[in-house]
Amino acid sequence: MAFDSFGAFIVMEGHGPYVWACYFMFFLLMGALALWSLRQRRSVFAQQRRRMNSAPARDQSPAGASFTRIEPSHD
C-alpha cells in the first residue's frame, strides 16, 4: 500500500479518522493499564511491608524442620 503524499497517508482514502482513533484508543488504554498495574503493585508491596512491620516478632531461630516427640498411647 503506497501513498502519494503524507496527507494521503493521514486521510487513508477516507478511513483515516477511524484508523487513527483506533490507534489513539489502543495506546491510551495500554498506558492506563500500565499505570493502574504499577499503582496496584506498589499498593500490594506497601500493604505487605506494613503487615511485616506490624507482626509480632517471632523467635529468631533458623527456619527448618521442628520435631515434637509424641508418646505412644498404651490402650
Asked if the model's pLDDT at residue 63 lies above 90, the reply is: no
Which is it for the CA torsion 24, 27, 33, 38, positive or negative? negative
Could you tell me the pTM of the whole model? 0.59
Spatial distance between the Cα atoms of 4 and 12, rounded to a whole number of angstroms: 11
DSSP E strand boundaries for the chain? none
Spatial distance between the Cα atoms of 66 and 59, rounded to a whole number of angstroms: 13
Tens of pLDDT, residues 4-62: 899 999 999 889 999 999 999 999 999 999 999 999 999 999 999 998 888 666 655 55
Q: Coil, strand or helix: which one is 55?
A: coil
